[in-house]
Amino acid sequence: MPPLRIGLIGAGRIGQVHAATIAQRVRSARILAVADANEGAACACAEQHNIPIVSTEPERLIADPNLDAVLICSPTDTHAAYIELAAQAGKHIFCEKPIALTLEATDRALAAVSRAGVKLQVGFNRRFDPSFERLRRAIAAGEIGELHLLRITSRDPAPPPPDYVKASGGLFLDMAIHDFDMARYLSGSEIEEVYALGAARIDPTISDAGDIDTALITLRFANGAFGAIDNSRKSIYGYDQRAEAFGSLGAAEVLNHYPNQVILSNAAGIHRDQPLHFFMQRYLESYQREIEAFIRAVLSNELPPVTGADGRAALAVALAAQRSLAERRPVRVAEVSQ
């Protein structure tokens, strides 16, 4: 079977991750075109990954009849419009999270995908991490009994630039949305209610942009379990990605990943190297596996493992968290999702 012919929209940090993954590690697809409003970024990506076509116009890339699919890695506020254009052009779509910043725009994009009959996969890559997959299986198989508590820690090594913060939709829609999806995925249950606390404790420019950099969110699941998520934009010791499930028969947890397994013990204490620095290192394998899953869904005409409905559900929880923070009260997800 010939490789899937892909166009890449967005040559920034995550676009570069996907371009490198496909060029170096995936045989069943090839990126034939890259488009970015920043011509220099598009040219650099094309040169580095041997992509033959470069454009500053994503619309022209989407219309190219020689492409089977597009990867949307552009700024968040462009996602929904490009999804609609790609669906109308008959292109299968992989889109980074979130689909949009509002449920209304998300629903329009999903309606376009449904009308066109194309595939849409949302980029919640952590579902494809082997450690989190194993935790999911432990919960689903009842290895820890009935799930009572789910705890997720997600802390970045450094805050993003202020301009990024302003366009991202905020911490809940940009960063914690991964954790909301993971909470749904790991628990096997929908999130019914959230209560969010947050503040800008790290960088005053984030507060100036109307956002927070530190958050604690409690969750109530439909299956009766409780959850807790803590987020920080600045973990000085590296990328902190952990989760624990506690149930009636035991517990299971995912710990941080390290560049090596050496633990040094001496008179000064017990030491080891810091965790892998950021998502490009920590989730290298999961990025490959999620792209392979998308390609497989397209070539085999299967439902993608992370659908537009998953993207909408995580966004609804993020919007409920925003309302909870603003109104200082628990918010049922149904208040914002209908």
One DSSP character per residue, 122-177 reads: E--GGGG-HHHHHHHHHHHTTTT-SEEEEEEEEE-SSPPPHHHHHHHT-HHHHTHH
Nearest to 105 by CA among 86, 87, 69, 78: 78
In this prediction, residue 163 carries a pLDDT of 84
291 assigned to some structural domain: no
In this prediction, residue 338 carries a pLDDT of 74
Q: Angle at CA 134, nearest 5°, toward 220 and 305? A: 75
CA separation for the pair 38, 35 (Å, rounded): 8
Q: 194: which 2 tokens?
A: 């959230």
| Statement: residue 167 has pLDDT above 90 | no
| Statement: residue 1 has pLDDT above 80 | no
In this prediction, residue 268 carries a pLDDT of 95
In this prediction, residue 50 carries a pLDDT of 96
Out of 86, 118, 150, pick the residue that ends a domain. Answer: 118
What predicted TM-score, i.e. pTM, was given to this entire model? 0.95
My answer on whether 88 and 167 are in the same domain is: no
70 assigned to some structural domain: yes
Q: 28: which 2 tokens?
A: 């069943």
CA separation for the pair 35, 57 (Å, rounded): 6
My answer on whether 252 and 176 are in the same domain is: yes
| Statement: residue 305 has pLDDT above 80 | yes
On average, the pLDDT of the chain sits at 96
Q: Cα 106 from chain centroid?
A: 16
My answer on whether 101 and 158 are in the same domain is: no
| Statement: residue 226 has pLDDT above 90 | yes
Interval 89-103 mean pLDDT: 97
Instruction: Name the band, by pLDDT with cuts 50, 70 and 90, for residue 90.
Output: very high
95 assigned to some structural domain: yes
129 assigned to some structural domain: no
Could you tell me what percent of the chain has a pLDDT over 70? 100
| Helix residue spans in the chain (DSSP H) | 13-25, 39-49, 58-63, 79-88, 103-116, 130-140, 162-168, 171-174, 176-187, 204-208, 279-282, 284-299, 308-327, 334-337
Q: 64: which 2 tokens?
A: 């190219």
| Statement: residue 171 has pLDDT above 80 | yes
| Statement: residue 291 has pLDDT above 90 | yes
124 assigned to some structural domain: no
My answer on whether 159 and 61 are in the same domain is: no
Q: Which domain holds residue 162?
A: 134-282+314-337
Q: Nearest 5°: phi and psi at 50? A: 60, 50
Instruction: Name the band, by pLDDT with cuts 50, 70 and 90, for residue 282.
Output: confident
302 assigned to some structural domain: no
Q: Dihedral sign, CA of 86, 88, 92, 97?
A: positive
Q: Across the strands, what pairs with 240?
A: 155
Residue whose structure tokens are 């980074």 = 96
Instruction: Name the band, by pLDDT with cuts 50, 70 and 90, for residue 164.
Output: confident
Out of 71, 89, 118, pick the residue that ends a domain. Answer: 118
Nearest to 1 by CA among 28, 22, 25, 21: 28
My answer on whether 318 and 250 are in the same domain is: yes
Q: Cα 301 from chain centroid?
A: 23
Query: 190, 225 in Cβ contact below 8 A?
Result: no
CA separation for the pair 52, 121 (Å, rounded): 25
| Statement: residue 280 has pLDDT above 90 | no
